[in-house]
Chain A
Amino acid sequence: MSVTSPAIRLADVAKRYGRREILAGISLEVAPGSRLGLIGPAASGKSVILKLVAGLEQADRGRVDVLGTELVGKREVELGRVRRRIGMLFQNYALFDFLTVERNVAFPLEQRGGMSAGDIATRVAERLRAVGLAGSEHKLTGELSGGMKKRVGIARATVADAELVLYDEPTAGLDPVTTQKIYDLLAADQARTKATVIAVSSDVVALASFVDEIAFLYQGKLIYRGPAATIADAPDPMVRQFVRGELEGPLEDVRTEAS
Chain B
Amino acid sequence: MIGERLIVAVGAGASRIAQEVGGILILTGQVLRALVPPRIDRRELVKNLYKMGNRSVPIVALTAFFAGALMILQAGPFVKKFGATSLAGYASGYAVLREIGPILIALMFSGRVGANNTAELATMTVTEQLDGLRALAIDPVAFLVVPRVIAMMVMLVVLTALGDLVALLGAAVVARTMLEVDFSTMYYSIVDNLRPFDFLLGVYKSVAFGAAIAMSSCYFGVAVRGGAVGVGKAVNAAVVASAVSIMLLDFLLTYLVGG
Range of interface residues on B (Cβ < 8 Å) = 10 to 19
Report the number of A-B residue pairs with Cβ-Cβ less than 8 Å: 50
Q: Does A111 contact B (CB under 8 A)?
A: yes
| A92 and B135 form a contact (CB under 8 A) | no
Range of interface residues on A (Cβ < 8 Å) = 20 to 34
Q: How far is the CB of B36 from chain A (nearest CB, A)?
A: 14
| A107 and B127 form a contact (CB under 8 A) | no
Q: Does B84 contact A (CB under 8 A)?
A: no
| A56 and B127 form a contact (CB under 8 A) | no
Pick the contact of B131: A56, A107, A111 (CB < 8 A): A56
Contacts of B257 in A (CB 8 A): none
| B135 and A88 form a contact (CB under 8 A) | yes
Closest to B123 in A: A97
Q: Quick one: which of B114-137 are within 8 Å of A by CB?
A: 123-124, 127-129, 131-137
| B132 and A81 form a contact (CB under 8 A) | no
| B127 and A94 form a contact (CB under 8 A) | yes
Contacts of B124 in A (CB 8 A): 96-97
| B129 and A83 form a contact (CB under 8 A) | no
| A84 and B129 form a contact (CB under 8 A) | no
Alpha-carbon distance between A31 and B123 when the two chains are bound, in angstroms = 37
Closest to B143 in A: A111
Q: How far is the CB of A103 from chain B (nearest CB, A)?
A: 10
Residue with the greatest number of chain A CB neighbours at <10 A, chosen from B129, B132, B134: B132
Q: Does A90 contact B (CB under 8 A)?
A: yes
| A97 and B129 form a contact (CB under 8 A) | yes
Contacts of A80 in B (CB 8 A): 137, 139
Q: Quick one: which of A71-90 are within 8 Å of B by CB?
A: 76, 79-81, 83-84, 86, 88, 90
| B134 and A92 form a contact (CB under 8 A) | no
| B134 and A84 form a contact (CB under 8 A) | no
Contacts of A132 in B (CB 8 A): none
Closest to A91 in B: B128
Residue with the greatest number of chain A CB neighbours at <10 A, chosen from B123, B136, B139: B136
| A92 and B137 form a contact (CB under 8 A) | no
Alpha-carbon distance between A80 and B137 when the two chains are bound, in angstroms = 4
Contacts of B123 in A (CB 8 A): 97
Q: Does B138 contact A (CB under 8 A)?
A: yes
Alpha-carbon distance between A107 and B44 when the two chains are bound, in angstroms = 13
Contacts of B133 in A (CB 8 A): 96
| A107 and B135 form a contact (CB under 8 A) | no
Contact flags A36-78 to B (C-beta < 8 A → 1, else 0): 0000000000000001001010000000000000000000100
Contacts of B135 in A (CB 8 A): 54, 56, 83, 86, 88, 90, 94
Contacts of A84 in B (CB 8 A): 136-137
Q: How far is the CB of A37 from chain B (nearest CB, A)?
A: 20
Closest to B128 in A: A94
Closest to B136 in A: A108
Alpha-carbon distance between A80 and B133 when the two chains are bound, in angstroms = 10
Contact flags B127-156 to A (C-beta < 8 A → 1, else 0): 111011111111100000000000000000
| B136 and A83 form a contact (CB under 8 A) | yes
Contacts of A208 in B (CB 8 A): none
Q: Does A95 contact B (CB under 8 A)?
A: yes
Contacts of B138 in A (CB 8 A): 111
Q: How far is the CB of A152 from chain B (nearest CB, A)?
A: 12
Contacts of A91 in B (CB 8 A): 128
Q: How far is the CB of A15 from chain B (nearest CB, A)?
A: 16
| B129 and A96 form a contact (CB under 8 A) | yes
Contact flags B4-48 to A (C-beta < 8 A → 1, else 0): 000000000000000000000000000000000000000000000
| B132 and A111 form a contact (CB under 8 A) | no
Other A-B pairs, 4, CB within 8 Å; known A83-B134, A111-B137: A94-B129, A94-B135, A96-B133, A108-B136
13 pairs across A/B with beta carbons < 8 Å?
A: A79-B137, A83-B134, A83-B135, A83-B136, A88-B135, A92-B128, A93-B127, A96-B124, A96-B129, A96-B133, A97-B124, A108-B136, A111-B136
Taking Cβ atoms with an 8 Å cutoff, the residues of B that contact A are 123-124, 127-129, 131-139
